[in-house]
Structure 1
Amino acid sequence: MIQMTMNPKALRVFIIAAEESGDRLGSAIIKGLVDAKPDIAIAGIGGTGMRSAGLKESLFPMTELSLMGIAEIVPKIPHMLKRINQTVEAIETLQPDVVITIDGPEFCFRVQKKLQKLENRPKQVHVVAPSVWAWRPGRAEHIAQFLDAIICLFPFEPPYFEREGMDAFYMGHPFLESLSQMPDKAQSRHALGLSANETAIGVYCGSRTQEVKKHSDIFLQSLKRLEETHPGKSLQLIFPTLPHLVETLKAKAEDFKFKNDPVFVTNQAEKKAIFKGLDMAVAVSGTVGLELALSGVPHIIGYKLNKLSYQIIKRLVRIDHAHLANIMLGNEVVPEYLQDECNSDNLYKGLERLLMQPDVAAKQKEGFERLIHILQTPKAPSQGSAEFILNLAST
């Protein structure tokens, strides 16, 4: 059992992230809390980012919570129920002042609901608002029944929850905060050992095992065709990934025999540092697409779900785009290849346009500049979110 050893008067926080993107958000929030209150006690569930920011140990490995799609979740329900109960028991024992959950609603909301029954209930905050503006708008009213507050990543989201009586706060996107601390393009390329004539292509196959299985072959097929069609171009593939996925990706990449050996990056700081060194990228739909956009990297996205999950979601979704940049900009700045359109032929064509038509990449970059302006906040996201959480804890 994890423990909180600290000044008895110090604030106690239990924070939960369910996947890598949540771990990155959690690390920014912990940093802000520690900067504001150095004696704060942090416990919870997280990955390397949160541990480096101040989470001493994770209750259990965060990777156990990385599930995708309805059909993929169902077989894991018994184990998830066990982990939910274990988490609630830990919270009841530690008696934190605030419980913060980040994304991963399948797990996190079940924990938050159970906390409502505790005699000494902590303040309950969730980070990353459900996309009620995209589908199932009734969720805003539902979560208002068991959450005290919600922290949003996008400026148009708070009103959806405030009208249900919740405290809602737009923190901004923490990735913008980290951009100023990243090496510039020249430094990033030097760290990767890239020469001036090499085209660095980021390959983001996902942070979940199921995602990698569904997307890696399709991505690699399109990239191999790109290499074969343009032998005069020196393509260097960069795979930012997680340690437990490296061997799977290496084995798949070796089958394609690329001219240049692919580079695999697992260190969290190094993965952030390479963004500005990339010339282009192919990525699964998700948080990484927004991060590529904010870094000014031209890219395409592709995504496949289990057929059952896709059919269910297709009937519920009320928006025209999947990429968050496209949603906020109101048009398809970044090409999206979803479900049946996510095939090697389409991805190859999208990548070739980025490689061979400078005006296509330039148009994306213009859109990304507008996106950065939309997402700006008066305070750094880590500082603003910490102040909001501390104010909530004091009430």
Structure 2
Amino acid sequence: AKTADAVLLIDSPAFNLPLAKAMREAGVKAPITYYILPQVWAWKPKRVEKVEKFCDNLASILPFDEKFYSRAVYVGHPLLDELKFKKEKLINSSKIAFLPGSRRSEIIRLMPIYREVAKDIKDKEKLLVIPPFLIDKVAEFYGDVSEFNIVNEAPKALYESEFAFVCSGTATLEAALIGTPFVLCYKAKAIDVWLARKLVKVKYAGLANIMYDFMGKGALHDELIQEQVSALNLLNAYKNCDKDKFLTGCNELRAYLKHGSSVNVAKFLMPSRQE
């Protein structure tokens, strides 16, 4: 690392903050860029001091990071590099997407409810989105998937679907930026949720809703958390959804995030090539 021209740290503060400290103590002179900053707006605000002490460039992917970091520079959001397409109008595709997450604990808790919901939704093609790295573990992680057609491209499935049931995480923001109406579903261990409610300082679980809150707006989508995650509640969210607001929400979020981040991050690493 001592001979490097630049250092790029990406997300993962539990790993990257000690690494940044160790590099500084080892005398690394290369500028350190931290990309995808720790979510201090949600929890662990003390990380601000460490990030600003050990890192030269703070490359933020959320416009409101600048409220919490004195040197954060908003570079854009990586999903806007990836998602070049969005819905221009609502579609009745007769497809419904089910995204149960990528962690085994999430999948095991959501799949029995998703199966029940899928059985109750008639005359629709049900797409079960499975990450490519789990395609060989369907039986172990997902159980009976006879109600579903298995796909592994989340953005494509969301774009093709008229509605989606989405586990909390990046996929909720993907759905919002594509313009697909959806409901967030999150079910975890009771102790994990208890700790989160004690420690996490934001009102919502979904990134789109968190952004809307920082914009001073009400929630874009419904959130069903813990005991609220039942087949009846999921079906009611599907049947009673105000789908029109998701097209407006898609455009508002894209305007808020402005652009992708890859080009601007590269400028930190190669400042001599800036035009």
TM-score (norm 1): 0.60
Residues 50-90 of structure 1 show CA distances to partners (whole Å, capped at 9, x for unaligned) of xxxxxxxxxxxxxxxxxxxxxxxxxxxxxxxxxxxxxxxxx
CA contact (8 A) 1:246 1:264 kept: no
Aligned to 1:201: 96
Does 2:110 match 1:176? no
Query: 1:100: Cα distance to partner?
Result: 1.9
1:197–1:160: structure 2 CA closer, same or farther, 3 Å change rule? closer
Aligned to 1:14: none
Aligned to 1:276: 159
Over the matched positions of the two proteins, sequence identity in percent amounts to: 26
Does 2:26 match 1:118? yes
CA contact (8 A) 2:155 2:175 kept: no
Alignment of 1:99-138 (within 5 A): 99-138=7-46
State the Cα RMSD in Å. 3.0
Q: Secondary structure at 1:374's aligned position in 2?
A: helix
TM-score (norm 2): 0.83
1:99–1:253: structure 2 CA closer, same or farther, 3 Å change rule? same
Structure 2: 5+ residue runs without aligned partners? none
Q: How many residues matched? A: 269
Q: Secondary structure at 1:144's aligned position in 2?
A: helix
Match of 1:257 among 135, 146, 151: 146
Aligned to 1:65: none
Cα distance in 2, alignment partners of residues 97 and 198 from structure 1: 50
Match of 1:212 among 107, 116, 131: 107
Alignment of 1:328-347 (within 5 A): 328-330=211-213, 331-347=218-234
Query: 1:366: Cα distance to partner?
Result: 2.1
Does 2:33 match 1:146? no
Aligned to 1:244: 133
1:104–1:177: structure 2 CA closer, same or farther, 3 Å change rule? same
Query: 1:112: Cα distance to partner?
Result: 2.8
Matching residue's letter, 2:10: I
Cα distance in 2, alignment partners of residues 393 and 211 from structure 1: 44
Structure 1: 5+ residue runs without aligned partners? 1-90, 187-195, 355-359
Cα distance in 2, alignment partners of residues 184 and 242 from structure 1: 23
Query: 1:318: Cα distance to partner?
Result: 2.2
Cα distance in 2, alignment partners of residues 392 and 160 from structure 1: 29
Matching residue's letter, 1:216: M
Residues 149-174 of structure 1 show CA distances to partners (whole Å, capped at 9, x for unaligned) of 22111112124212xxx4x2211112
1:312–1:126: structure 2 CA closer, same or farther, 3 Å change rule? same
CA contact (8 A) 2:92 2:162 kept: no
Cα distance in 2, alignment partners of residues 316 and 328 from structure 1: 19
Alignment of 1:299-378 (within 5 A): 299-330=182-213, 331-354=218-241, 360-377=242-259
Matching residue's letter, 1:119: G
CA contact (8 A) 1:220 1:253 kept: no
Cα distance in 1, alignment partners of residues 67 and 165 from structure 2: 33
Cα distance in 1, alignment partners of residues 270 and 255 from structure 2: 28
Cα distance in 1, alignment partners of residues 271 and 105 from structure 2: 39
1:306–1:159: structure 2 CA closer, same or farther, 3 Å change rule? same
Query: 1:298: Cα distance to partner?
Result: 0.5
Residues 125-167 of structure 1 show CA distances to partners (whole Å, capped at 9, x for unaligned) of 22222222233323212322322222111112124212xxx4x
Query: 1:348: Cα distance to partner?
Result: 2.4
Does 2:168 match 1:288? no
Q: Secondary structure at 1:116's aligned position in 2?
A: helix
Q: Secondary structure at 1:214's aligned position in 2?
A: helix
Query: 1:248: Cα distance to partner?
Result: 3.6
Cα distance in 2, alignment partners of residues 110 and 237 from structure 1: 44
Which fold has the larger relative contact order, with Cα–Cα distance below 8 Å and residues 6 or more apart in sequence?
2
Query: 1:296: Cα distance to partner?
Result: 0.4
Query: 1:184: Cα distance to partner?
Result: 7.4
Bigger Rg, structure 1 or 2: 1
Matching residue's letter, 2:13: P
1:157–1:238: structure 2 CA closer, same or farther, 3 Å change rule? same
